[in-house]
A and B are shown apart, each in its own frame.
Chain A
Amino acid sequence: MSMLTTVVQRVRVTFAVSWPLQYASILDMGRLWERLLRRAAAPLAYTQGYNPHARLQFADALPVGYTSECEMLDIYLGETVDVKALPALLQAQAPPGLGIVSAAEVEIGAKAPQSLMRAAMYQVSLRTDVHAAEIAAALADLLQRTSIPFVRERRGRMQSLELRELIHDLGYVSGDSLWHEVQMRLRCGSNGSGRPADVLEAASLAYSDLRVHRTQLIWEERSS
């Protein structure tokens, strides 16, 4: 008996990420999922070659610290499984902070969702004493602008970018005297992703605490 290498089924799992798993990086997430699938005895298909590894594809990397209800992972299997039974099977082996939302079969040759990613919806909660009306106005003002030059720091390096291109839509949702909720639709994918914190900085909105929750991944629906 040897490791399975021929893919016979591809399954797309939608999963939620909450505390404490929100602090896992995308590399951590890959290892974690591979271990989860091994615990669940899923018949994974492995790459051939010197250093075989399970074939897993995430639609997008969830930034460290964000929670989510819509992360997506494609799993390549070497034997077919009952997709309907899969969510319960996976949930039984999931570590704290990982919730299985659904699983569906996908055409093996379908394009990787990663290459089709266009945008993501975020529910952004900020703790601030700025009034609701001011927040709404600041966001609306940002949307009016045609250009928002922005410099952000990533891993110690300064990076200049055009933030306006990354913003699809912004809107104030609700709030009380402490917490306000804002919805953002930001570009997401291989040619640049918007970060809610950058948007708030560009809008000059100060806050003492921030929580970002991803609610939807939006990609081009196009089969191969």
Chain B
Amino acid sequence: MSIDRDVIRRLLTRVERPARYAGGELHAIIKDWEQVEVTLALAYPDVYEIGMSNLGLALLYDGVNQQPWALAERVYAPWDDLAQALAEENVPLYSLETFHPLNEFDVLGFSLQHELTYTNILSMLALGRIPLRAAERAEDDPLVIAGGSGAYNPEPLAGFFDAFFVGEGEQALAELLQQVRRAKADGWDRQTLLRALAQVPGTYVPALYEAAPGPHGTLPPHPNCAAAPDVITKRIVPELPPVPTRPIVPAMRVVHDRAMVEIQRGCSRGCRFCQAGMIYRPIRERPVHEIVSAVDQILANTGYDEVSFVSLSSSDHSGIGELVAETLERHGAHGVGVSLPSLRTDAFSVGLAESIQQTRKAGLTFAPEAGSQRLRDVINKGVTEQDLIETATAAFGRGWNRIKLYFMLGLPTETDEDALEIARLITTIRDLGRKLRGRRVEISVSLSTFVPKPHTPFQWEPLASQEDVLRRQRLIRERAGGRGIKLSWSDWDATWLEALISRGDRRLDAVIQAAWERGARFDAWQERFRPELWREALTACGVDPCWYIDGWQPGAPLAWSHISAGVTETFLLRERQRAIEGGISADCRQQCHACGILTTLGERYPDAHQRVAWECP
């Protein structure tokens, strides 16, 4: 039953930013529970402002609500003030559409985007009155599932979820919900439903797999019954489904407070450190005319004055110039701006940026990632120093004063020399800027630390040592500090925890729970992060973090070996070897590197392949 609005109104007098928890935004979809057969709560384990900026959840929300027999509502992680108010007033965590307690939904589906949000999942389950562990859930508890990039290594969360979905959920989520619908109609018990779910391609039901203890961590999970496949291969949508054109318009300010249109999925660049580049293959472009018409409709429906063309590499869309020109032609006179979140490092991109920023000259961002050519070749970041200099020259020449540069420290094979090269490169660009623009020039430099991620060529590599990373941060600070350069770097402990969970196995779920029980919440928020709780939790669980941090022999079996992103291990090992030799692999729109995606997915989606829905040669 819905929680009475008066109860919520009273709770909201006790919290900061109550708009986070009131729902009822423009275009929120409110359906009658009596008229549907399956209810789903889509959950994001961080605050409203961040969760509302997630495009993936918006696509699923729209898709499920189009089914007449199902509804999807939303819930985000409550900040401490609401969490405390809920506990004190004895009110369960509720959905924003109809204020139903989470435990009254048939399905609760989490989006997993960042490892440091995982403790918030436990908070949301507990406040939603759902048993934390799948094994403890009763027949009438919701089915708790998860998807998103985190599902590509589900093991650290295996104990908390009834099922994971691997890959793109636009079509598959409806298939999963159909199983739930049948289960309800035919009175299946939970076990029967779980077995049926395991038959839906892309679904991983952890209870149907054993992960036997190995000498250190656990061995890769294998099925304990015939209903479960040995390998779970990700699902894709062969063609990008239509853009939802009536997105929810939040009343309060959120992180991405603008219209978002996905113009391309996947990336052809093949950067070896990049998990997104591996798991979102193959590349699929949305045709320009389709985007243009979607933009017309979204702007009319929302009134936004900015549209963001979302993709992993905006300047790689084959029609990007035409798209930007057409959008400005149609909407520029009404004050609509365009933003391109990920620009390639070249003069073409500066031209693009200039065309969209006639009025607002915010900073321009580029990501060379590494300081030396040698190391950029190792990670297959196809950017040369000359590219960077030309790009910066073009940007300063066209009036920009601020440039932001992203680098990573701790990349495989990195030495202090590579760090010195970062320092040299940023001072070179600062000096160039001063020559062309004068003293107003500001170069912001973000030095993050590389975290080896599952399903990449570097998935077996160790995390760099704290000593090396801190020394290299210092080397750069000493040589490239001062006027016109603003340096920022990531916190070591947060990097360490991300590395630990990213490549964790099933033993980690006890650690996550132990850290949460000790009070770990919102670990991605620097001011909230308490690494000592995690060290205590590891000790209490008898888990040695070094096993996960230090990596393994190339080719060693992994906690996620039963999950396939469609890219073969042979390809990843080949790319790893090429990396060590400093060899580059061309953009896969130019040359196929036989990553395996065509064979894996070509069989599953034969008709789509005939229609050349994606761009593999």
Binding site for B on A (CB under 8 A): 1-3, 19-21, 23-25, 27-28, 31-32, 34-39, 46, 50-52, 64-65, 93, 95-97, 209-211
What's the interface size class on B, roughly?
A: 20 to 34
Establish whether residues A96 and B19, one from each chain, have CB atoms under 8 Å apart when the complex forms: no
Complex contacts, B303 vs chain A, CB 8 Å: 34-39, 93
Between-chain CB contacts (< 8 Å), 22 pairs? A19-B5, A19-B22, A20-B22, A20-B25, A23-B12, A23-B18, A25-B19, A35-B304, A36-B303, A37-B303, A38-B304, A50-B360, A50-B361, A51-B359, A51-B360, A52-B335, A64-B18, A95-B249, A96-B26, A209-B6, A209-B9, A210-B13
Which residues of the partner chain A approach B19 to less than 8 Å between Cβ atoms? 20, 23-25, 28, 64
Q: Are A20 and B23 in contact (CB under 8 A)?
A: yes
A-B CB contacts (within 8 Å), total count: 84
Q: Which residue from chain B places its CB closest to the CB of A35 in the assembled complex? A: B303
Instruction: Using known A-B contacts A3-B333, A34-B303, A65-B12, determine if residue A28 contacts B252 with beta carbons closer than 8 Å.
Output: yes
A35 touches which one: B9, B249, B361 (CB < 8 A)? B249
Within 8 A of A (CB), among B238-253: 249, 251-253
Given contacts A1-B333, A46-B335, 8 further A-B contacts (CB under 8 A): A23-B19, A23-B251, A31-B253, A36-B303, A39-B303, A50-B360, A96-B24, A211-B9
B301 within 8 Å of A by Cβ? yes
Q: Are A65 and B25 in contact, with the CB atoms below 8 A?
A: no
Task: Evaluate whether A25 and B13 lie within 8 angstroms (CB atoms) in the complex, with A39-B300, A51-B359 already known.
Answer: no
Residues of chain A within 8 A of B302, CB atoms compared: 35, 39
Whether the pair A3, B335 counts as a contact (CB closer than 8 A) is yes
Report Cα–Cα, A46/B301, bound state, in Å. 21
Is B216 close to A, CB under 8 A? no
Q: Which residues of B252-281 are within 8 A (CB) of A? A: 252-253, 257
Q: Which 3 A-B pairs have the closest CB atoms?
A: A35-B303, A38-B303, A20-B24
Which of these, A1, A23, A39, A209, contacts B22 with CB under 8 Å? Answer: A23
Whether the Cβ atoms of A32 and B251 lie closer than 8 Å is yes
User: Which B residues touch A96, using CB under 8 A?
Assistant: 24-26, 28
CB distance from A45 to the nearest CB of B (A): 11
Closest to A32 in B: B251
State whether the Cβ of B316 lies closer than 8 Å to any Cβ in chain A.
no
Cβ–Cβ contact A2 & B333, under 8 A: yes
Q: How far, in Å, is A157 (CB) from chain B's closest CB?
A: 15
Does B305 have its Cβ within 8 Å of any Cβ on chain A?
yes
- Kindly identify which residue among A27, A38, A50, A210 contacts B305, using a CB–CB cutoff of 8 Å: A38
In the bound complex, how far is the Cα of B335 from the Cα of A19, in angstroms?
31
Instruction: Enumerate chain B residues within 8 angstroms of A1, measured Cβ to Cβ.
Output: 333
Question: Max chain B CB contacts within 10 Å: which of A20, A34, A46, A50?
Answer: A20
The CA of A3 and the CA of B252, in the complex, are separated in Å by 26
Shortest Cβ distance from residue B329 to the other chain A in the assembled complex, whole angstroms: 10
CB of B251 within 8 A of CB of A39, answer no
Contact code string B2-44 (vs A, CB < 8 Å = 1, else 0) = 0001100110110000110011111010000000000000000
- Chain A: minimal CB distance from B229 (Å): 45
A95 touches B26 (CB 8 A): yes
Which of chain B's residues 476-498 have a Cβ closer than 8 Å to chain A?
Answer: none
B611 touches A (CB below 8 Å): no
Least distance between A167 CB and chain B CB atoms (Å): 22
Could you tell me the distance between the alpha carbons of A182 and B404 in the complex, rounded to whole angstroms?
A: 56
Compute how far the CA of A196 lies from the CA of B69 in the bound complex, rounded to whole angstroms.
Answer: 47
CA of A2 to CA of B26, assembled, Å = 29
Q: Judge whether B334 is part of the interface by a CB distance below 8 angstroms.
A: yes
Question: What residue of chain A has the Cβ atom nearest to residue B251's Cβ?
Answer: A24
Alpha-carbon distance between A31 and B257 when the two chains are bound, in angstroms:
10
Complex alpha-carbon distance, A93 and B299, angstroms? 13
C-alpha gap A34/B249 in the complex (Å): 13
Q: Which chain A residues border B253 with CB–CB below 8 Å?
A: 27-28, 31
B interface, CB within 8 angstroms of A:
5-6, 9-10, 12-13, 18-19, 22-26, 28, 249, 251-253, 257, 299-305, 333-335, 359-361
Q: Which residues of B contact A37 (CB under 8 A)?
A: 303
Q: Is the CB of A50 within 8 A of B251?
A: no
Is there contact, CB below 8 Å, between A95 and B25?
yes
**Contact residues in A for B6 (Cβ distance below 8 Å):** 209
| A21 and B251 contact, Cβ closer than 8 Å, known pairs A50-B359, A51-B359, A64-B18 | yes
B359 partner residues in chain A, CB cutoff 8 A: 50-52
- Alpha-carbon separation in the docked complex, A23 to B23 (Å): 10
A74 to B329, CA, bound (A): 30
Determine the residue in chain A with the shortest Cβ distance to B24: A20
Residues A209 and B360 in contact, CB atoms below 8 Å apart: no
Q: Which residues of B contact A31 (CB under 8 A)?
A: 253, 257
Closest to B21 in A: A23
Q: Is the CB of B10 within 8 A of A209?
A: yes
Per the bound structure, the CA–CA distance linking A18 and B473 in Å amounts to 52
Give bound CA distance, A1 to B332, whole Å: 9
Contact between A25 and B9, CB atoms less than 8 A apart? no
Roughly how many angstroms separate A35 CA and B259 CA in the complex, as a whole number?
Answer: 12
Shortest Cβ distance from residue A13 to the other chain B in the assembled complex, whole angstroms: 16
Q: How far is the CA of A210 from the CA of B10 in the complex (A)?
A: 8
Give the nearest-CB partner of A93 in chain B: B303
The closest CB in chain B to the CB of A3 belongs to: B335
Q: Which residues of B contact A27 (CB under 8 A)?
A: 253
Option from B18, B26, B299 in Cβ contact (under 8 Å) with A65: B18
Cβ distance B302 to chain A, nearest Cβ, rounded Å: 7
Q: Is the CB of A24 within 8 A of B252?
A: yes
In the complex the two chains form, what is the Cα distance from A73 to B458 in whole Å? Answer: 57
What distance in Å separates the Cβ of B477 from its nearest Cβ neighbour in chain A? 33
Residues of B within 8 A of A39 (CB): 300-303
Q: A25-B252, A95-B25 are in contact. Are A38 and B18 (CB under 8 A)?
A: no
Closest residue of A by beta carbon distance from B302: A35
Q: Which residue of B lies closest to A29 (CB)?
A: B251
Residues of chain B within 8 A (CB-CB) of A35 are: 249, 302-305
Task: Tell me if B334 and A38 are in contact (CB < 8 A).
Answer: yes
Measured between alpha carbons, how far is A46 from B336 in the docked complex, in Å? 12
Residues in A neighbouring B10, C-beta threshold 8 A: 209
Chain B residue at smallest Cβ distance from A27: B253
Task: Kindly list chain B residues whose C-beta atoms are within 8 Å of the C-beta of A24.
Answer: 19, 251-252
Cα distance A210–B13 in the bound complex, in angstroms = 9
With A3-B335, A65-B13: A19-B24 Cβ-Cβ less than 8 Å:
yes
B27: nearest residue on chain A (CB-CB)?
Answer: A95
Smallest Cβ distance from B297 to chain A, in angstroms? 12
Q: Nearest Cβ in chain B — how far from A126, in angstroms?
A: 12
Most chain B beta-carbon neighbours within 10 Å: one of A2, A23, A93: A23
Distance in angstroms from A211 CB to nearest chain B CB is 8
Contacts A19-B9, A35-B303 given; indicate if A97 touches B24 (C-beta within 8 A).
yes
Shortest B299–chain A CB gap in Å is 8
Give A46 to B334 CA distance when docked, in angstroms: 9
CB distance from B148 to the nearest CB of A (A): 28
Cα-based distance from A88 to B474 in the complex (angstroms): 63
Residues of A near B26 (CB, < 8 A) are: 95-96
In angstroms, Cα B253 to Cα A32, docked, is 10
- Nearest CB on A from B96, distance (A): 9
- Give Cα A32 to B257, complex, Å: 11
Chain A residues with CB below 8 A from B12, complex form: 23, 65
Q: With the chains together, A216 CA to B130 CA distance in Å?
A: 46
Residues of A within 8 A of B23 (CB): 20
| Complexed CA–CA distance, A148 and B26 (Å) | 43
Report the Cα distance A65→B9, complex, angstroms: 9
